[in-house]
Amino acid sequence: MKNSYTDLTYAEMVAKRDELRREALNLRMARVLGHVENPMAIKTTKKKIARLNTLIHEYALGIRVKSK
């Protein structure tokens, strides 16, 4: 199931992206140590980050209008 990020404001998207980046870092460290319970979580987290980066970039290009 894909998360819908289109209803978030610009600031919320940036905050969510930072949170997901920290989560991805923790998952990578856990993978190195060999303690990953769900290996697919790394892949899905990276895809969520990419979706958010796309929306944030659309705001930068002016394709989307910034919300409050």
Give the pLDDT confidence of 48-66 residue by residue, as tens digits: 999 999 999 999 999 988 7
Whether 58 contacts 66, CB under 8 Å: no
For residue 38, the enclosing domain spans 10-61
In a domain, 44, yes or no: yes
- Residue 3 within a domain: no
Does residue 67 lie in a domain region? no
Number of separate domains in the chain: 1
Specify if 5 maps to a domain: no
In a domain, 28, yes or no: yes
Q: Whole-prediction pTM value?
A: 0.86
- CATH number of the domain at 54, please: 1.10.287
- pLDDT for 64: 85
Is pLDDT above 60 for 11? yes
**Which pLDDT band, with edges at 50, 70 and 90, does 6 fall under?**
confident
